[in-house]
Amino acid sequence: MLQRLPAIPENYFTVYYNLFTRSRLAPGETLLVHGGSSGIGLAAIQLAKACGATVITTAGTDEKCAFCESAGADKAVNYRTEDWPGIVREIAGKTKVDVVLDMVAGDYIQKNIDLLGRDGRYALIAFLGGSTAEVNFGKVMMNRLSISGSTLRPQSLDEKARIASDVEHTVWPMFENKTVRPHIHCTYPLKQAAQAHHLMMKGGGELPSTVTADYSVKMKRPTPTEKGKIHLVAKIVESTQDRATVEAELEADGKICATCVGTFVAVKPGHPAYHRW
């Protein structure tokens, strides 16, 4: 269980808050969740089925679709090879979909709105397909739809505490009796952290966020006169490097900026980007 713990907060907190607190998913309703094989998608499938909902999901390969159905989804649709809106419409029937949990957005927005029935709820949690879209709001008005968006990071400490308390009382007993459980696609030793990030960038699985913890580079705290300066750390962490080597090289290159507070780690060998923890 300890190995699975890092996969719980971001996934199950996000899903519970958006599906039940904000979207009020109820037993007997139909949920459409995109990205069903992701950590968020799996949590949504498990929690929705546990509450007695019908779950339809989308995923990008037949293998991922099979995984979603093995996790409890009533139907998983390969969005690359199948007409997912048509299949969802056929399954949902005249009552249509009650709740959509969407991490794609973009051109999915209008398709999701078209699939929602009267008093349907649309929860946006990410914009993998883009944050803009042309939308026919006539259907939103005629069907009395509710559209909401949220992300955990900007919530206040009190709000996060309430979410954690709700999960503790409602979801934690499901972990204890194994009604729901996180899925770890695979694990890597810390020295192979770069390979783990490479797999993530290919969409190959969900990994605990602690995998690369020891590869982060601690930054110096700024002096009052240094605050506000431009800063960037783009050092690539190779799998053969240990933390001391990375930190020494950054200092030698002058890439440890005194205005940065926190820790940084690169996302992939050869990729000129960084990720801020």
Distance in angstroms between the alpha carbons of the first and the last residue of the chain:
24
Q: Which residue has the higher pLDDT, 196 or 110?
A: 110
Q: Which residue has the higher pLDDT, 50 or 238?
A: 50
Question: Do residues 166 and 14 lie in contact, with contact meaning Cβ atoms separated by under 8 Å?
Answer: no
User: pLDDT value at position 266?
Assistant: 37
User: pLDDT value at position 194?
Assistant: 80
Question: Do residues 39 and 10 lie in contact, with contact meaning Cβ atoms separated by under 8 Å?
Answer: yes
Tell me how far apart the alpha carbons of residues 155 and 171 are, in angstroms, rounded to a whole number.
Answer: 20
Q: Which residue has the higher pLDDT, 105 or 264?
A: 105
pLDDT for residue 224 is more than 60 = no
Mean pLDDT for the stretch of residues 87-101: 95
pLDDT for residue 207 is more than 50 = no
Distances, alpha carbon 207 to alpha carbons 7, 9, 54, 187, in Å? 7, 13, 27, 7
User: pLDDT value at position 251?
Assistant: 54
User: Which one-letter amino acid corresponds to residue 148?
Assistant: S
Alpha helices in the chain (DSSP H): 14-16, 39-50, 62-70, 84-92, 108-115, 137-142, 157-170, 172-176, 193-201, 243-253
pLDDT for residue 95 is more than 90 = no
Tell me how far apart the alpha carbons of residues 100 and 113 are, in angstroms, rounded to a whole number.
Answer: 9
Instruction: Sort 60 into a burial class: Cβ within 10 Å, 0-12 / 13-18 / 19+.
Output: middle
The encoded tokens of residue 262 equal 């926190």
Q: Residues 111-148: pLDDT tens digits?
A: 999 999 999 999 999 999 999 999 999 999 999 999 99
Tokens 């989308």 sit at which residue?
58
pLDDT for residue 238 is more than 70 = no
Q: Residues 48-81: pLDDT tens digits?
A: 999 999 999 999 999 999 999 999 999 999 999 9
State percent of the chain over pLDDT 70.
69
pLDDT for residue 259 is more than 60 = no
The three-class DSSP label of residue 33 is strand
User: pLDDT value at position 8?
Assistant: 79
Tell me how far apart the alpha carbons of residues 269 and 236 are, in angstroms, rounded to a whole number.
Answer: 6
Q: Which residue has the higher pLDDT, 95 or 209?
A: 95
The encoded tokens of residue 266 equal 């690169």
Q: What sign has the CA pseudo-torsion 170, 176, 177, 181?
A: positive
Question: Do residues 233 and 264 lie in contact, with contact meaning Cβ atoms separated by under 8 Å?
Answer: yes
Tell me how far apart the alpha carbons of residues 95 and 159 are, in angstroms, rounded to a whole number.
Answer: 34
Average pLDDT, the chain: 77
pLDDT for residue 252 is more than 70 = no
Q: Which residue has the higher pLDDT, 125 or 248?
A: 125
